[in-house]
């Protein structure tokens, strides 16, 4: 029993980090920490098939696809879908051939379908990872809720605009505790605004549509963001090790 408790204590004294900037925070407190890489690089996000997606959903090669990701929580859907809907209406006027794809978790797909049914352009909702990553490969840009999805978009090298909005009470409390400059993990890793963030009072249809429009039309802006996204895969461990295997090896090393 004591031996088992000792092993648990050893494990708790040695932490596994998923993001490259995490280890220094733990080691500064006297805790060993090994960066094992982020499991997202094993997801297939960087291996989407654009041609397969267009063929499956009968989308013409010249049609511009926008990936829209309103979040994975009902609270995010409730806040962002109306704003995204107005954003899409504005983009439709500038891009008549625009086609929207919304990857959704299964328990939210019905709600998302209901809230997007009046959007003035074709909308396809997909629920599988294969379809999601194929959609990323086929899309020209993304409009996304802030979250882990930012890493998937980065691995797919898909230029994006990140949005988020909460109640003013929640935001006021959050602002008092906030210690970081950015909401997006990609921007945190770069310590620079690589991916545009439009949060709270800036999360408006006017600003979102203007920023997405720029990504759809300005190739220099697109390529600048894509270049920044290209660094992320390496930082997360892609090409260096398999995160699940490195995590397992680290744990076994501690146990032994």
93-116: pLDDT as tens digits? 999 999 999 999 889 999 999 999
- Whether residue 50 contacts residue 68, with contact meaning beta carbons closer than 8 Å, is answered with no
Per-residue confidence (pLDDT) for residue 207, from 0 to 100: 98
Per-residue confidence (pLDDT) for residue 81, from 0 to 100: 96
Per-residue confidence (pLDDT) for residue 78, from 0 to 100: 92
- Whether residue 164 contacts residue 70, with contact meaning beta carbons closer than 8 Å, is answered with no
Mean pLDDT over the full length of the chain: 89
The rounded distance, in Å, linking the Cα atoms of 40 and 198 is 24
Tell me the CA distances in angstroms from 256 to 8, 10, 249, 253, one per residue in order: 12, 10, 10, 5
Residue among 13, 18, 12 nearest 36 (CA):
18
Per-residue confidence (pLDDT) for residue 172, from 0 to 100: 55
Model pTM? 0.87
Q: How confident is the model at residue 210 (pLDDT cuts 50, 70, 90)?
A: very high
Q: How many residues does the chain have?
A: 256
pLDDT 10s digits, 114-158: 999 999 999 999 999 999 999 999 999 999 999 889 999 999 999
Round the CA-based radius of gyration of the chain to a whole number and report it: 20
The rounded distance, in Å, linking the Cα atoms of 136 and 133 is 5
Show the tokens assigned to 149. 């999805």
Vertex 153 angle, CA 147 and 154, to 5°: 100
Tokens 């092993």, located at residue: 7
């Amino acid at each position: 029993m004591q031996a088992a408790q000792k092993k648990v204590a050893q494990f708790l004294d040695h932490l596994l980090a998923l993001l490259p900037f995490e280890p220094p925070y733990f080691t500064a407190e006297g805790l060993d920490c090994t960066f094992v890489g982020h499991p997202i690089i094993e997801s297939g996000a960087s291996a989407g098939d654009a041609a397969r997606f267009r063929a499956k959903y009968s989308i013409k090669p010249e049609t511009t696809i926008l990936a829209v990701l309103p979040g994975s929580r009902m609270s995010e859907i409730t806040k962002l879908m109306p704003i995204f809907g107005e954003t899409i209406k504005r983009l439709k006027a500038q891009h008549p051939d625009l086609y929207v794809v919304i990857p959704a978790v299964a328990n939210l797909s019905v709600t998302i379908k209901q809230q997007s049914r009046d959007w003035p352009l074709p909308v396809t909702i997909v629920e599988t990872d294969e379809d999601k990553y194929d959609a990323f490969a086929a899309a020209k840009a993304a409009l996304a809720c802030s979250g882990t999805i930012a890493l998937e978009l980065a691995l797919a090298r898909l230029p994006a605009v990140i949005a988020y909005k909460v109640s003013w009470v929640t935001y006021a409390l959050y602002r008092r505790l906030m210690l970081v400059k950015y909401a997006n993990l990609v921007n945190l890793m770069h310590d620079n605004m690589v991916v545009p963030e439009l949060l709270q009072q800036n999360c408006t249809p006017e600003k979102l549509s203007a920023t997405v429009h720029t990504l759809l039309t300005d190739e220099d802006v697109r390529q600048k963001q894509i270049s920044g996204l290209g660094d992320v895969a390496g930082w997360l461990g892609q090409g260096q090790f398999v995160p699940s295997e490195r995590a397992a090896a680290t744990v076994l090393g501690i146990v032994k």
